[in-house]
Chain A
Amino acid sequence: MARYDRIARIDPPGRDDAFIGWLALRDLQEDERDAELGRRARLRFLAVRLIHRLARRGDDVDPESLQAQCDAVREELGQLPGRDPERQQLADLLKDVPSLDIPTIVDTVLELGETIQAAGHRYGAEELYRAALELAESRGLKELQGRSAQALSGLGASGRA
């Protein structure tokens, strides 16, 4: 058996036991060699890390560093087809993040989560919804917290960040 199969046989870690945003990659579990899904999952992972950074660092996050992080993700959007709805929503999100307009950002994240859910990628959607919930909670945005929790319960996941 090839050496890498040793990792394939390990049970996936829980969300809290892996690094931030890893859950967005768990859709690869069925076929980790699926290159197209790998590219999508990677972009979702990069996007969700931006949201977690905003949620955790709050107003302390450096605007230039955040902009540079957004630019780095934007450069990779070309990996998705031009008319792909997920690509458009990711582009919108990358435009919203540097503005630090939190309600708009949460709204965009939730929409992106819905698109990912509709594509049948449950874990990617869950990570996006959880990121939206954490960001809404960090700024006390009750209505958006409720929407995020509702989206999570739609997936059968607990509505707690």
Chain B
Amino acid sequence: MAMIAVLLPQGADWDALRAATTDHRLIQADDWRDLIAIVKREPAAAAVADLHAEPGKDGALRVLRFSRRYPRTPLLIWGDLDGRDLFRLGKAGAFDVVMAPDTGNVLLVSERVADATADPIARRVDRALKSRIGNDGRALVRTAAERIPDGIQVPTLADLHGFSVSTLERRCQEWGLTTPGRILLWLRIIYGLNWLTEPGRSVESVASQIGYSSGAAFRRAVKVTLSNGARSMREPESLDLALTEFVADCPGDPATASAGSA
């Protein structure tokens, strides 16, 4: 269940979004400042905002500020938008728009929200594992990845697949994965490093979101897990390295590897 930060002052807009996003958690912001505070506190899968939420303020400029601080958090703009608004929103970095006449079109809105909340990191992890791990193993990693923002632990992961913890450990071994605990450790680091590439995020907020007691604890985890230590945690290269080393930490499924190379 992804979290979406929402700035929609009109009740009808909120209801329309709610109807189109039944499997997401929506958090209501009071104004643009509050929207940014929510996203800073807890990495959101996406944000939705009415361009005219604050009369007298330049909404497109707020979009620009948001997209500069949180370039990896898609911002979906909602509302009565004229040609100039749309033109400026594209330049300001809005992810997409929901036009006022379409807000009652539940399927159309849910398609837009689905595009905005699609998890690019889960897809990258899946692609990285594809040549070495079979479908069952990748499905397990996908389940874990989707729930990293919710602080998933090994017993919950086992429950979700209908296994006991010991069976889950055995399956991971059979599927060529590393242990469940290390899968979650790697995924926390990968998601944490991804969020840290946004200039508006603090190590503290990212650490608490993925279940560490403090920013220092997260730094220590990165330091002992990544081969280059915790240097340049905010650089995209660290994220690439974490992905590569996660794949290398998985022994691999010989059947999948040989099918891939055949």
Give A contacts to B, CB under 8 Å: 3-4, 6-7, 10, 12-13, 18-20, 22, 25-26, 28-29, 32-33, 37-42, 45-46, 53, 57, 62, 64-65, 68-69, 72, 75-76
Most buried by A among B87, B91, B96, B104: B87
A3 touches B61 (CB 8 A): yes
User: Which chain A positions have C-beta within 8 A of B240?
Assistant: none
A19 touches B99 (CB 8 A): no
Q: A4-B61, A7-B60, A69-B102 are in contact. Are A45 and B91 (CB under 8 A)?
A: no
User: Which chain B positions have C-beta within 8 A of A40?
Assistant: 83
Bound complex: CA A42 to CA B88 (Å):
12
A28 touches B95 (CB 8 A): no
User: Which chain A positions have C-beta within 8 A of B167?
Assistant: none
User: Which chain B positions have C-beta within 8 A of A18?
Assistant: 90-91
A28 touches B96 (CB 8 A): no
Let me know if B86 is at the binding interface, CB within 8 A. yes
Let me know if B55 is at the binding interface, CB within 8 A. no
Give B contacts to A, CB under 8 Å: 58, 60-61, 64, 81-84, 86-97, 99, 101-102, 104-108, 111
A69 touches B108 (CB 8 A): yes
Residue from B90, B101, B104 within 8 A of A19 (CB atoms) = B90
A19 touches B108 (CB 8 A): no
B82 touches A72 (CB 8 A): no
B84 touches A32 (CB 8 A): yes
Closest 9 CB pairs of A and B: A38-B83, A72-B101, A22-B90, A42-B83, A65-B107, A18-B90, A25-B87, A19-B96, A28-B87
User: Which chain B positions have C-beta within 8 A of A4?
Assistant: 58, 60-61, 88
B102 touches A25 (CB 8 A): no
B107 touches A32 (CB 8 A): no
A65 touches B105 (CB 8 A): yes
Residue from A7, A19, A38 within 8 A of B95 (CB atoms) = A19
A33 touches B84 (CB 8 A): yes
